[in-house]
Amino acid sequence: MKTLTLLRHAKSSWDDPVARDFDRPLNARGIRGAKRMGRYLRDEGLQYDHLVSSPAIRCTETLDYLWEGMGRSVTPSWDRRIYLASAATLLDVVHDAPDSAKAVLMCGHNPGFEDLILMLVPDRQGDPLRDAVEEKFPTAALAAIEFDVEHWSDVKGDSGRFVRLMRPRDLDAELGPVPHGH
């Protein structure tokens, strides 16, 4: 059994004048959201054997604040392929995960993460987690999918089972969507 957990980077700032999208930092709400998700991981006792992340600044900062909230860290393996990747490319990254790892955490971006989740989890009636992702996989959201495989290379479309979806707003309403007109 393998568990893949996808963490979308926290809310980034569009106000900072950066030359490259790659260098965009988190904003204050993103920092709060990443720390809050870290505390959630700590409270739930979630642990990962392997972490692979996009090297974009908004991912590296998300992980820094996640560890701050969690109280410990996992050394990431940086993979440039994750940056703004398609679901197919992300699946290649999953296939390359070490088989010694039972639980892999991947930090990256939308729309690829949303597309990957919808590719891996079959569309069944009454799956509220998948339906929620189909609507939106917001920043700093975490999705965990289980696969009944021994090797990461055996993970394929429609073979996953959704086991967890947590969004910052589920933990703190202030981290949810800003009401219109504010």
Instruction: Measure the CA–CA gap between 32 and 74, rounded to whole angstroms.
Output: 20
The reply, when asked if residue 39 is annotated as ligand binding, is no
**pLDDT tens readout for residues 34-57:** 999 999 999 999 999 999 999 999
> What CATH number is attached to the domain comprising 108?
3.40.50.1240
- Which residue segment(s) compose the domain that 51 sits in? 2-124+134-157
* Count of domains for the chain: 1
37 is a domain residue = yes
Q: Nearest CA to 166 among 143, 134, 182?
A: 143
Distance CA 51, CA 11 (A): 20
pTM for the structure as a whole = 0.95
Query: How many beta carbons lie within 10 A of that of residue 128, not counting itself?
Result: 9
Residue 14 included in any domain: yes
| pLDDT tens readout for residues 116-142 | 999 999 999 989 999 999 999 999 999
